[in-house]
Amino acid sequence: MPERLAKDVMVPITEYATVREEDSLKHALFTLRDSLASGHRTLAVLDKNGNLAGFLTTRTILKALETLAFKDNSLAGTGWKIPLVESWARFFLKSKLEQANEVKAKDVMRPVHKIFVREDTSLPEVTRTILQNRVNHIPVLNGEQKVVGIIRAVDILDIIGNLLDS
């Protein structure tokens, strides 16, 4: 059996759920919600040239919404503590969540650093890179240094599971 390469297991960037850097957090939330059925739990954030600029995860979006919910705490700095139930209820106030229209994806995304693999990288090397860098997804670059796909850690687990089943 030939060695599997990154290009064999990646999700092509054209099939990945994406938003633009200038899109609102609200737009990103709805895009991610709509893409969950396709198995995407992360959004790729593209810059104005269509290049990968970062990632928005479910956790990143929730943390940003949490920040919005608590940023106008009128008792902050007074020494008074808001009861936990009341404070977390603020998280679900529509008026607070509507502020997500004012926040841009680029303001809360996790920027892409120099962590990537090439299309011809072997699957064991992809796995090592993901583990060493403690990431759940990694961009795949072609010969022109353009992102052509993304490999998710869950894709690798799926392949390992299939190997164990056979």
CATH number at residue 130: 3.10.580.10
pLDDT tens-digit readout, 39-62: 778 999 999 988 899 999 888 888
Give the range of the structural domain holding residue 52, as residue numbers without chain letter: 6-165
Task: Output the average pLDDT for the chain.
Answer: 81
Is the pLDDT at 111 greater than 60? The verdict is yes
Instruction: Report yes or no on 152 lying in a domain.
Output: yes
Single pTM value for the model: 0.75
pLDDT of residue 119: 97
Instruction: Report yes or no on 102 lying in a domain.
Output: yes
Contact 104, 95 (CB under 8 A): no
Instruction: Report yes or no on 1 lying in a domain.
Output: no
pLDDT of residue 74: 47
For 15-20, what is the mean pLDDT? Answer: 93
Average the pLDDT over each of 1-5, 35-39, 45-49, 78-82 and give the range with the smallest value. 78-82
Number of Cα atoms under 13 Å in the Cβ half of residue 104: 8
Strand, helix or coil at 131? helix
Instruction: Report yes or no on 31 lying in a domain.
Output: yes
Domain count across the chain: 1
Instruction: Report yes or no on 141 lying in a domain.
Output: yes
